[in-house]
Chains A and B, each alone.
Chain A
Amino acid sequence: MLLDGFATALTPVNLLYALAGVTLGTLVGVLPGIGPAMTVALLLPITFNVPPAGAFIMFAGIYYGGMYGGSTTSILLNTPGESSSMITALEGNKMARRGRAAQALATAAIGSFVAGTIATGLLVVAAPLVVDFAISFGPEDYFALAVLAFTAVSSVLSRSVVRGLASLGFGLVIGLVGIDEQTGQARLTLGVPQLLGGIEVVVVAVGLFALGEALYVASRLRHGEPEIIPVGRAFLGRSDWSRSWRPWLRGTALGFPFGALPGGGAEIPTFLSYSIERRLARGVAREEYGRGAIEGVAGPEAANNASAAGTLVPLLTLGLPTSATAAIMLAAFQQYGLQPGPQLFDHNPALVWGMIASLFLGNAMLLVLNLPLAPVWAKVLHIPRPYLYAGIVLFAALGVYALNASWVDLVVLYVLGLLGFAMRCFGLPIAPAVIGMILGPMAEIQLRRALAIGAGDAAVLVRSPIAAALLALSLLALLTPLVRALVRRLLARRAGSR
């Protein structure tokens, strides 16, 4: 079946569509604000002139390309193009500053390829199993998942816990803005109707990261010459390979099921991957963490690409869209008169297998396109800072305005940019704010749904085995350092009294 699919996908015209898709996807991934969902939506009209196989090949290419492209600016400029590549900036940008930009880009590209390929393979063999697991997730499970993600990312809260928590608090407050879904009441909107819909994650990420960074760099430019960043060698060394492959696989294992979860999203697996890699780091990696460890790029980048493939599981098997891009692809299916669902594989095998084959091809093409480009991209760092950051500010504003064509978004962007600047000046980490903004609303709404469904009985939160296991894991993660410290202190006291 899959071979027939490759026969469908491997025509010159379809290869051209795949190339156009991944190129476009990489581009929109690089631009902050403009994401794959919007691009696919804008391209939806081509479904009238292009046969289904060609259109889906292109859409899938855009989706995968977008997931990859977001990493480039994260690594080079500390300005994530998509919220799912925010975590990549933490270690990736540090690597770039140490002259290892090309290696960071390469591990992101190869990791995306590996993850995309494995996850697409899983899509072929495990789709029905995974989808049953995905829909068995209830609100209490999502709540427990959010709690686990919170505890997992506590390791990125910087060395000063107070500063980390302050930043997290900013994020939680920003996440509250807008209409409360369960009651329909407006919160923290200051009477501005455009804020009723809440503030989009991408505006926060772009404002705090990109604008904050640009303002901070600008404020430091007068103080002497900035250090010249070496571009360095362009290839992954043997140690880079050996340090990357495990994080790629672990990232894939995290990303794929999360993509299939209707409330999972691409961000949470990147958080989890980052913290797992950090905890597992030994030797050189452990020392390098915080200064540019390749593991911190390899894992999350694999995770976000794998989650893109995971999203296709409920879409193809149930017709259930779990991300904005998937929702628009569902619309595209319907325009061809196809209803995704259990019958799709039986009724339109040529199309489905053609699309899956094209996912493999798109992935390979992404690698071919981006690997040679890594050293070229890395040269971006040679552009004089004033021009470079002026360009970033311009693209950030353009991208955010393109979201809703609303000037309110621009005001919010610049206010957040100033906040990001202030946070940098006072040494507050940026990542916890964005993490709080993503996880906070999810934790809140799922908790309230779980309690409503359980008629107010708090025991529902631990009644499901999944939720209980996830909560136990979070408790363990929280208590382990405490217990360890306590034991150490007790031992020391006993030794002292003797």
Chain B
Amino acid sequence: MRLRRLAVLAILPLAALTACGSGSATGTSALRIMAPASPGGGWDQTARTAEQALKSLDPSRKIEVYNVPGAGGTIGLSQLEREKGNGDLLMTMGLVMVGAVEQNKSQVTLADTTPVAKLVEEYELVVVPAESPHRTLADLVAAWKADPAKIAVAGGSAGGTDHIVAGLMAKAAGIDPKRVNYVAHSGGGEALNALLGNKVAMGVSGVGEFAEHVKSGRLRALGVSAPARIASVDAPTLKEAGLDVELANWRGFVAPRDLDEEAQKKLVDLVTKMHGSQAWKDAVAKNGWTDAFQAGKPFADFLAAEQIRIKAIIAEMGLVS
């Protein structure tokens, strides 16, 4: 206890220094945004884009983005639990975390957080290396049906969105989803490298991670998991290409639990203001994301429904014993 008090005493002057100029009376205390993944991935991008947009509104604002990688974000989630009552902390999260909580049998679930807002959706892109013999999704599916083990699928962590899309595609094609030869990679960069080096037969990941390389011709896009074609990449929807699969990988913000009304409102207002900024709109367009803004109570309801839906999908695919 004495140690802690000493630490607080030591930190106080520092805090006073950092608060200098921003004026804590106006409610602009330092905000921290946790990206519960390694730098470079979708959650990290979202967190850093949000940081940028918030700073474009208020350049003097202190914002820190930090990474807590691992276990589909559940490590970050359990750290968030320890910050309960802290109204100056946001955590990026999304569909992947909903699945990871189930898969890792995490003690802390998303029910233990304060939902703030859903921000964007990103559709998933199915690609093959430029050297691949498969020109269309139908070609690929034919080969996949012939021998599922031969088609190695590169994507993010086991049980994540990419894995779920691969499973749903297999199911739609009449292949047992449990037979998908899924090769998990940590972070988008690693899976991308396996595809650029023509090491795997196909890849599934967010449009943003592949689009640039589809444009440069190093990867061929066979389908996108959207309900209609999207502007940022020239590819048919999976439905048009013959597989009835549609999935949006949404991302948003939650805050620690046990926040009072006022603190909740402050965060929702802040994120709503950020969503309205030009910097945010530009970044959404640039990254090929789709705006899917939903804040406060509607998002809380959506999150509750999503937890039930994903739990069912994952069980059906045999990802949880």
Contact = CB atoms under 8 A, between A and B. Distances in A.
Interface of A: 37, 41-42, 44-45, 48, 135-139, 178-179, 181-184, 186, 193-194, 196-198, 262-263, 318-322, 324, 327-328, 330-331, 334-335, 337, 339, 341-343, 404, 406, 449, 452-453, 455-456
Given A193-B78, A197-B75, A320 B189 contact: yes
B183 interface: yes
Contact of B158 (A181, A198, A262, A341): A181
Interface in B49-93: 51-52, 55, 59, 63-72, 74-75, 78-79
**Ranked 3 nearest A-B pairs via Cβ:** A197-B70, A327-B40, A327-B39
B42 interface: no
Given A197-B75, A198-B70, A181 B186 contact: yes
Contacts of B319: 184
Interface string B140-158: 0000000101101000011
Contact of A320 (B150, B183, B185, B193): B193
B184 interface: yes
A67 B273 CA distance: 41
B190 A184 contact: no
Contact of A179 (B65, B71, B152): B71
Contacts of A321: 39-40, 189
A135 B197 contact: yes
Most buried by A among B149, B193, B319: B193
A138 B189 contact: no
B52 A186 contact: no
B70 A179 contact: yes
Given A321-B189, A335-B52, A328 B78 contact: no
B38 interface: yes
A453 B199 contact: yes
Given A181-B157, A184-B104, A194-B78, A137 B48 contact: no
Given A182-B183, A453-B152, 7 more contacts: A37-B39, A136-B197, A137-B197, A138-B197, A184-B104, A197-B75, A339-B212
Interface of B: 38-40, 44-45, 48, 51-52, 55, 59, 63-72, 74-75, 78-79, 103-104, 106-107, 147, 149-150, 152, 157-159, 181, 183-186, 189-190, 192-194, 196-197, 199-200, 212, 216, 286, 319
A453 B212 contact: no
Given A319-B212, A327-B189, A41 B70 contact: no
A196 B70 contact: yes
B103 A184 contact: yes
B183 A48 contact: no
Contacts of A452: 152, 181, 183
A178 B75 CA distance: 11
17 contacts: A37-B39, A182-B183, A184-B159, A184-B319, A186-B104, A193-B75, A194-B78, A196-B70, A196-B75, A320-B196, A321-B189, A335-B52, A341-B212, A453-B152, A453-B199, A455-B147, A455-B152
Given A41-B65, A324-B39, A318 B196 contact: yes
Given A45-B55, A181-B184, A453-B200, A262 B63 contact: no
A424 B45 CA distance: 44
Contacts of B190: 262-263
B203 to A, nearest CB: 12
B145 to A, nearest CB: 15
B189 to A, nearest CB: 5
Given A319-B212, A327-B40, A178 B70 contact: yes
Contacts of B189: 262, 320-322, 327
A453 to B, nearest CB: 4
B157 to A, nearest CB: 7
B40 A331 contact: yes
Contacts of A41: 39, 65-67
A198 B69 CA distance: 10
A197 B104 contact: no
Nearest to A452: B183
A404 B199 CA distance: 34
A194 B75 contact: yes
Nearest to B48: A331
Contacts of B64: 42
A196 to B, nearest CB: 4
Nearest to B193: A262
B194 A138 contact: yes
A183 B158 contact: yes
A48 B150 CA distance: 48
A135 B157 CA distance: 21
Given A138-B197, A324-B38, A331-B39, A182 B149 contact: no
Contacts of B181: 452-453, 455
B5 to A, nearest CB: 17
A36 to B, nearest CB: 12
A331 B69 contact: no
B222 to A, nearest CB: 19
A139 B66 CA distance: 30
